[in-house]
Amino acid sequence: MALIAVGLDHEHASLDLLERATVLEHEWVKVLRTLVSHRNIHEAVFVSTCLRTEVVAVIDRFHGAIEEITATLSQVTGLALSEFEEHLSVHFDRGVANHLFSVSAGLRSVVPGEFEVLGQLRRALELASDEHVAGPMLTDLFQKALTSGRRVRNETSIARGTTSFAHAAVEVTLESLADDASGANVVVVGAGQLAGGVVRSLLAAPAGIGRVVVCNRTLSKAEDLRRTLSDERIAVAPLSELDDHLARARAVVVAVEVPDPLITTETLHLRARPLLAMDLAVPRGVARDVDTLEGVTRIDIGALHERVNQALDDRREAVTAAETIVADDVEKYVEDQRARGAAAIVSDLRAHFDTLVAAEFQRRSSEIDALGEPEAELLRSVVRSVVAKIAHRPTTALKESAGTDQGARLSEAVRTLFDI
C-alpha cells in the first residue's frame, strides 16, 4: 500500500475554480464514504477550504486510485473532469509527507505561518477517524504533520506580524477604510473559527473600531463568541436582521460557509452610506456585481496576496528556518515508517516459517509419533534450529537496512520471494 494526495490548491488553481470546487463541511462524510467504497482506496482524509480541496489516501494501484479520486471529486463538486484535471496537484509516498508537513507549517498558505490551517487539518482527521476511514497510516501521518506545524510556529518567527488569514483580511479592510476606520461600525457574518479571528483582530486594531455586530444563523454561537471575547463593543444579531445592520455599517466581513451569496444588490437596498465588503466566504458570500453600486467596494481573497507578499518579505529567514524544520521532521517520519515496515515484515517472515514448520509437523505427525517421544522431540528441535538459521540472515539484513532505500527493496523482495 502507498500514500497519495490529490487536490486543487490556490498555488495551481484560480480562485474561481477553487470556489466552484469547494465542498461544505457537512458534506465531507459523504465524500469520505464514497472514496473508501472504491477498490483501490483503503484509508482517506478529505479537506475543503477556500484555499484547497484535497484528498489524502492510502491506496493500492496508483493509476486506479487517481481515477477513483478524480471521479469522486467530479461527482461531489459537480465539475466535469476536464475543468480541473490540468490544475490538480498530485503527490505520492514521500511527496505526500513533504506536502502535508509543509501545509501544516503554513508554508503553503496565502499567509505564511497562519494558524487556521492547523485547525482545518485537525478537524479533517477527526472526522475521518469518527467515520472509521482513517486508519493507523493516515492517523500517524496527520498527527506527525500537526506536531511539526506546531514546532515550526514555536521555534521560528514565521507567525510574527500577520499571523492568520483573519488577521490579514482585517488589515486589508482597515487599510481600505483609511481615515473612516476609526469609530466605524463593522458587521461580521459568521461565528466560527475564522469569524472569531476576524472579530478579535478588529477589536485589537489600533484604528479603534466603534462597534462590531456578529450576525449568525445560530444566534447562540454568536452569543458564545461575545461572552468569550467579553468586549462591550460586540453586539449580536440573527442573520435575518443582516440587511438592517448593513444599512448602518461602514464595512462587512463575510466569514462563513454559504451555498449562495448573502449580500447582493438587492440586500443593500437600505444602505445609506459607503460600504466596504470583504468576502472570505466559501463559496462567495458577496455577489460579484455589488461593486457596480455607487459607494460599494468588494474585496475578496485575491486582494490579500499583496498583504501576503509584504509579510513574506519580512519573514524570508523565518520561512527558510521553517523549511529546514519541515525537511528534518519529514526525514524522521519517513525513517520511522521504514523501520516500522521492517519490523512488520520480520514478524511476518518469522510467522511464515513457523506456520510452514507447524504444518509439516502436523502432516507427518503419525510418522514422528512412531519414533518415540525423545526422538520425536529431538527431530522437532533440529528442524526448528535449521529453520531459525535459514531465517537469521534475511531478518538481520532487514533490520540493518531499515530506513534506507536498500531496506525498502529488500522488504519488497522478501514479500515476493516468500509470498507474504
Same domain, yes or no, for 175 and 225? yes
Q: What angle do CA 179, 268, 171 make, to 5 degrees?
A: 35
pLDDT digits (tens, 9 = 90+) for 230-280: 899 999 999 999 999 998 899 999 988 788 899 999 888 778 789 999 998
Order of strands across the sheet that contains 52-59:
41-48, 52-59, 2-9, 89-92
Q: Is 330 within a domain?
A: no
β-pair partners for 212: 186, 234
Same domain, yes or no, for 7 and 154? yes
Q: Is 70 within a domain?
A: yes
Same domain, yes or no, for 21 and 6? yes
Tell me which amino acid residue 105 is. A
**Is the pLDDT score of 129 beyond 90?**
yes
Q: Is 98 within a domain?
A: yes
- Residue where a domain stops, chosen among 141, 160, 179: 160
Residue-number span of the structural domain to which 36 is assigned: 2-160
Per-residue confidence (pLDDT) for residue 2, from 0 to 100: 85
Same domain, yes or no, for 303 and 343? no
Q: Is 323 within a domain?
A: no
Same domain, yes or no, for 138 and 177? no
CA distance 222 to 244: 17
Q: What is the CATH number of the domain that holds 245?
A: 3.40.50.720
Calculated CA dihedral for residues 373, 378, 379, 383, nearest 10 degrees: 140
CA distance 169 to 164: 9
Helix (H, G, I), strand (E, B) or coil at 299: strand
Same domain, yes or no, for 307 and 390? no
Per-residue confidence (pLDDT) for residue 13, from 0 to 100: 85
pLDDT digits (tens, 9 = 90+) for 345-371: 888 888 889 899 999 888 888 888 888
Per the structure, how many domains does the chain have? 3
Q: Is 317 within a domain?
A: no
Statement: the pTM of the whole predicted model exceeds 0.85 = no
Q: Is 47 within a domain?
A: yes
Same domain, yes or no, for 113 and 238? no
Q: Is 235 within a domain?
A: yes
Per-residue confidence (pLDDT) for residue 405, from 0 to 100: 66
Per-residue confidence (pLDDT) for residue 38, from 0 to 100: 95
Q: Is 184 within a domain?
A: yes
Same domain, yes or no, for 39 and 127? yes
**pLDDT, mean over the chain:** 87
What is the sign, positive or negative, of the torsion defined by CA atoms of 36, 38, 41, 47? negative
**Is the pLDDT score of 218 beyond 60?**
yes
**Is the pLDDT score of 163 beyond 80?**
no
CA distance 198 to 162: 12
- Residue where a domain stops, chosen among 160, 193, 217: 160
Per-residue confidence (pLDDT) for residue 197, from 0 to 100: 85
- As a 3-state breakdown, the chain gives helix, strand, coil percent values, each rounded to 5, of 60, 15, 25
Q: Which is more confidently placed, 372 or 16?
A: 372
- C-alpha distances (whole Å) from 320 to each of 21, 312, 313, 316, 333 are 31, 11, 12, 6, 20
As to burial, measured by CB atoms within 10 angstroms (0-12 exposed, 13-18 middle, 19+ buried), residue 99 is buried
pLDDT digits (tens, 9 = 90+) for 28-66: 999 999 999 999 999 999 999 877 899 999 998 899 999
Per-residue confidence (pLDDT) for residue 283, from 0 to 100: 74
- C-alpha distances (whole Å) from 10 to each of 110, 123, 187 are 8, 20, 27
Element (H, E) at 72: helix 62-77
β-pair partners for 298: 277
Among residues 236, 272, 230, 239, which one has the least CA distance to residue 257?
239
Same domain, yes or no, for 33 and 121? yes
**Is the pLDDT score of 338 beyond 80?**
no
Q: What is the CATH number of the domain that holds 66?
A: 3.30.460.30
Q: In the annotation, is 50 catalytic? A: yes
Q: What are the grid coordinates assigned to 132, written together?
A: 472509521
- Residue where a domain stops, chosen among 160, 184, 215: 160
Same domain, yes or no, for 200 and 258? yes
Residue of 21, 32, 50, 127 marked catalytic: 50
- Strand ranges (E), 174-304: 185-189, 211-216, 234-238, 251-254, 275-279, 296-299
Same domain, yes or no, for 155 and 11? yes
Same domain, yes or no, for 270 and 306? yes
Paired sense of beta strands 41-48 and 296-299, if any: unpaired
